[in-house]
């Protein structure tokens, strides 16, 4: 065959392409990759049979789009050399229901109606409205990525984006109660029924307003103790990838709690499940047997999100109070700061980019103002 189309590189996207009928035909994956080269050879083969339109009509399927996206996400969603969990969210939660419905569907045939069908399928799983909106939003992200990488046509991505989120009380999806600050009484009772490590971790979150993840990863090296109020500057935090700087003030009450762990090395987590194991099995002199020492060595050095939640739930159950989550501690601290020091101070302490997020914690303050106003017309 004469005049075989060249295999070209589209530099801005780093993908391969060839021309057919004065139109660019893009190939999947990166330029010069085995997948891209194989697609080009397949394209040339269809030209030799005299029906290149078969290749032009052949589009990437939803399954192939998801596979390409997950390969990218596995590399992209990392922080300090570790996976952030976002990749697992896409792989385990977002992609499976999408593939159940549209595994072999060409991406060019995806549209807002088919995305709505996926949302209807999620509605049958008794998920709350916010969860469904989140999962559909993450699904849109996959198609947005496909558009940016020339896998999904722009009109398809625009159609997918056009699906509006479910609105409050205007859908069959159940509503959930907003996260409330945990009452201080419940915190005190839970602390009395928790290990010393968990009790101190609880009090640190309550009297600093730091995120539970920041408390789990707290080390002495990250704390500036030069002033009367210490400053915790976490190396890793929620908005680090956006170039934000996070500083958490640590006042006297939380300082007294942390000083119990002053013997820890600079890079050792201040709150460790190993300490909780030692506390549970040590004798009156603080000594442990060889079997317990081996168990301590096998225990992870840092609390995971789930392990902390389970420990607090167990302590709350023993205390006879309703189960609560670590984030409710942050809500309690935020409400107190918002009420006593104002919205802008609360925004800075909590690490919010805007005051709109901080306004979530204004409920109790507003209720107290309402009580004061009510006294006028008693």
pLDDT at 377: 41
Instruction: Name the most confidently modeled range: 12-16, 200-204, 208-212.
Output: 200-204
pLDDT in tens, 224-270: 898 888 888 887 655 554 555 678 888 888 899 999 999 999 999 99
- Between CA 273 and CA 368 the distance in angstroms is 39
pLDDT at 232: 87
Model confidence at 364, in pLDDT bands (50, 70, 90)?
A: very low
- Between CA 32 and CA 9 the distance in angstroms is 8
Total count of residues recorded for the chain: 378
- Between CA 224 and CA 233 the distance in angstroms is 8
- Mind giving me the DSSP string for 203-227? HHHHTT---HHHHHT--GGGEE-SS
Q: What angle do CA 105, 110, 114 make, to 5 degrees?
A: 100
- Structure-block tokens of residue 101: 């419905």
- Structure-block tokens of residue 59: 């589009």
pTM of this structure? 0.60
- Asked if residue 131 has pLDDT above 80, the reply is yes
pLDDT at 52: 53
Q: What angle do CA 240, 238, 76 make, to 5 degrees?
A: 65
If one counts every other C-beta atom within 10 angstroms of the C-beta of residue 237, the result is: 20
Asked if 178 and 325 touch (Cβ cutoff 8 Å), the reply is no
* Range with the poorest average pLDDT among 85-89, 196-200, 267-271: 85-89
- Asked if residue 317 has pLDDT above 60, the reply is yes
- Between CA 132 and CA 139 the distance in angstroms is 11
Model confidence at 2, in pLDDT bands (50, 70, 90)?
A: low
pLDDT at 376: 37
| Phi, then psi, of 261 in degrees rounded to 5 | -115, 25
pLDDT at 298: 83
H or E segment at 125? none
Provide the percentage of residues in the chain whose pLDDT is more than 70: 80
What average pLDDT does this structure show over 46-51? 65
Return the domain boundaries, the chain.
8-57, 65-161, 188-319
Better pLDDT: 12 or 356: 12
- Structure-block tokens of residue 366: 């507003």
Asked if 307 and 181 touch (Cβ cutoff 8 Å), the reply is no
What average pLDDT does this structure show over 75-89? 79
pLDDT at 55: 54
| Phi, then psi, of 83 in degrees rounded to 5 | -65, 140
- Between CA 289 and CA 248 the distance in angstroms is 39
If one counts every other C-beta atom within 10 angstroms of the C-beta of residue 82, the result is: 8
- Between CA 202 and CA 311 the distance in angstroms is 11
Torsion of CA 274, 280, 286, 292, to 10 degrees: -60
| Residue-averaged pLDDT of the chain | 81
pLDDT at 164: 94
- Between CA 348 and CA 351 the distance in angstroms is 5
Fold assignment, 188-319? Topoisomerase I; Chain A, domain 3 (3.90.15)
Asked if 274 and 295 touch (Cβ cutoff 8 Å), the reply is no
Asked if 73 and 120 touch (Cβ cutoff 8 Å), the reply is no
Instruction: Name the most confidently modeled range: 74-88, 307-321, 343-357.
Output: 307-321
């Amino acid at each position: 065959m004469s005049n075989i189309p060249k295999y070209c590189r589209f530099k801005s996207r780093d993908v391969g392409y060839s021309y057919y009928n004065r139109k660019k035909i893009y190939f999947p994956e990166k330029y010069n990759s085995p997948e891209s080269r194989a697609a080009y050879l397949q394209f040339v083969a269809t030209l030799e049979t005299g029906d290149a339109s078969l290749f032009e009509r052949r589009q990437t399927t939803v399954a192939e789009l998801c596979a390409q996206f997950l390969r990218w996400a596995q590399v992209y969603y990392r922080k300090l050399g570790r996976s952030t969990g976002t990749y697992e969210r896409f792989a385990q939660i977002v992609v499976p229901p999408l593939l159940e419905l549209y595994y072999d569907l060409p991406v060019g045939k995806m549209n807002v109606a088919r995305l709505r069908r996926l949302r209807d399928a999620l509605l049958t799983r008794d998920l709350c409205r916010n969860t469904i909106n989140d999962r559909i939003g993450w699904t849109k992200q996959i198609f947005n990525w496909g558009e940016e990488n020339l896998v999904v046509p722009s009109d398809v991505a625009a159609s997918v984006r056009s699906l509006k989120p479910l609105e409050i009380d205007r859908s069959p999806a159940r509503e959930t109660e907003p996260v409330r600050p945990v009452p201080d009484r419940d915190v005190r009772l839970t602390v009395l029924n928790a290990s010393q490590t968990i009790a101190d971790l609880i009090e640190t979150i309550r009297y600093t307003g730091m995120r539970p993840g920041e408390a789990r990863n707290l080390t002495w090296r990250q704390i500036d103790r030069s002033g009367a109020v210490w400053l915790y500057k976490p190396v890793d935090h929620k908005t680090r990838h956006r170039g934000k700087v996070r500083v958490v003030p640590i006042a006297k009450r939380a300082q007294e709690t942390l000083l119990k762990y002053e013997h820890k090395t600079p890079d050792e987590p201040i709150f460790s499940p190993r300490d909780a194991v030692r506390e549970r099995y040590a004798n009156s002199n603080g000594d442990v047997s060889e079997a317990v020492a081996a168990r301590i060595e096998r225990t992870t050095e840092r609390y995971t999100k789930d392990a902390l939640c389970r420990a607090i739930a167990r302590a709350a159950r023993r205390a006879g109070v309703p189960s609560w989550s670590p984030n409710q501690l942050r809500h309690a601290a935020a409400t107190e700061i918002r009420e006593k020091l104002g919205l802008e101070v609360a925004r800075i302490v909590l690490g919010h980019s805007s005051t709109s997020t901080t306004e979530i914690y204004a409920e109790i303050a507003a209720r107290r103002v309402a009580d004061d106003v009510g006294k006028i017309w008693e």
